[in-house]
Amino acid sequence: MALEITDSSFQDTVLKSDKPVLVDFWAVWCGPCRTLGPIIEEVASDFEGKALVGKVDVDNNQEISMQYGIRNIPTVLIFKNGEVVDKLVGVAPKEVIAEKLSAHL
């Protein structure tokens, strides 16, 4: 299951992780985000133990959303060693997301 990531947990969970981290920036009111949600959950279970997968609710965590310039949701960022190494904006098929995350394992 995808981790709930907040402004206060972002540093420890994402930036200090020794594994790649996929972060889905989303909101409850966002239709495409609801479409992407189950895909993110599948990716989280497929990559368990190999990578972290988390979600940031942009309405409740505006600090981190602003820091990374999130203007459109859903936006998926992949972090490795505390740096953004890949980005997807909008809904993408599971295969595309899994392929991008696999490239950073």
Active-site residue list: 30, 33
For 27-69, strand residue ranges (E) read 52-57
Interacting residues of 29 by C-beta distance below 8 A, sequence separation 6+: 59
Q: Are strands 52-57 and 75-80 parallel, antiparallel or unpaired?
A: unpaired
